[in-house]
Amino acid sequence: MPPATAIERALHGLVDLHCHSGPNPLPRRFDHVEAARDGARLGMRALLAKSHHHNTVMDILAMREQLSGLSTQVYGGIALNQWVGGINPYAVELCLRMGGRCVWFPTVSSSAHVAHHNAGGGFPNPTIPLSTAQTDLRGGDGELLPEVFRVLDLIVEAGALLSAGHLPVDDVEALFTTAAGRGVRRMVVSHPNFLIGSDAARCRELTALGAYIEHETSMYDPEVAQARGGPDLLMRWIEDVGPEHTVLASDLGQRGRPMPVDSFLRVGGALLDLGLPEKDLRMIVRDNPAFLLGLD
């Protein structure tokens, strides 16, 4: 066996916090088992299976025999979109007490996402007819709904990860400020420069609350048609926010897009070429996401 390259060494043991494996009503390239098998190519330690539509913990439990013996562990969670009743503490309770590791606040049902999609943002259509509706976390008075507090308490109870989903940045700040005050220790903001509407300065304010800023290889991979910048832009984000507050995930699994491992290799290799130290790349693909997923 040839010696490992620098990029293979840096990525070994990575944890992908944003894998869109199936089953799902959106067209997917692979399922959770196939994702775990492919992850073994890089010694991937774990992945978090994300669906905008349902609690993925039940998928994983149903696939338990197929997943047993694979070196990459697969975890699930729940996204608080309309199909689970929005900000639904009962659905969160079930998910987390069955082993879920993450609660995503509204993604495709958030006001930011609905506005993006209605403006022709190019998000893929489901393979079955589905109704659309917006899920808000504030009431008519502008205050957080009572259900939000119950969900946060369930996250604290389980030691789970709180994701901002696709909430606009003002809602993220209100949610994370409240979450930190209630004892939530693990918080993450995905693709801050897509849908969320944030910049690096605003993200630094969120990291002061204990949040991590997640970027996705799919946003910077030259082989992804809808990539929103090159690795040099990602490098500037890492420098502005700091590798100690940054996570790199894939946000892949969609039909017609690359396998996560291949995208990690391309984008991670480009970051090393741009001068990112190996230790910093390991921090953002392995150490930080392992903490957020509760593995360390």
pLDDT score recorded for residue 1: 41
* 144 beta partners: 138
Q: At what angle do helices 32-39 and 260-273 cross, to 10 degrees?
A: 40
Task: Reply yes or no: is the peptide bond before residue 25 cis, omega within 30 of 0.
Answer: no
Q: Which of 109, 108, 35 is nearest to 75 (CA)?
A: 35
Q: Are 217 and 263 in contact (CB under 8 A)?
A: yes
Amino acid at residue number 35? A
Going 78 to 185 to 176 to 196, the CA torsion angle's sign is: negative
Taking the C-alpha atoms of residue 191 and residue 204, their distance in angstroms, rounded to an integer, is 14
Right CATH for 6-292 from 3.20.20.140, 3.40.50.920, 3.40.50.1240, 3.90.180.10? 3.20.20.140
Q: Where are the domains of the chain?
A: 6-292
Q: Are 14 and 212 in contact (CB under 8 A)?
A: no
In the block, tokens 């309309």 appear at 82
In this structure, what token pair is assigned to residue 49? 């299976």
Residue 14 to residues 18, 22, 44, Cα–Cα distance (Å):
12, 21, 5
pLDDT score recorded for residue 116: 75
State pTM to two decimals: 0.96
pLDDT score recorded for residue 120: 55
Taking the C-alpha atoms of residue 87 and residue 271, their distance in angstroms, rounded to an integer, is 38
pLDDT score recorded for residue 3: 59
pLDDT score recorded for residue 125: 81
* 249 beta partners: 216
In this structure, what token pair is assigned to residue 218? 């799919």
Q: What is the mean pLDDT of each run of 10 residues along the chain (296 residues)?
A: 77 98 96 98 97 98 97 98 98 98 97 77 79 93 98 98 97 98 98 92 98 97 86 97 98 96 97 97 98 96
Q: How many residues does the chain have?
A: 296
* 15 beta partners: 46
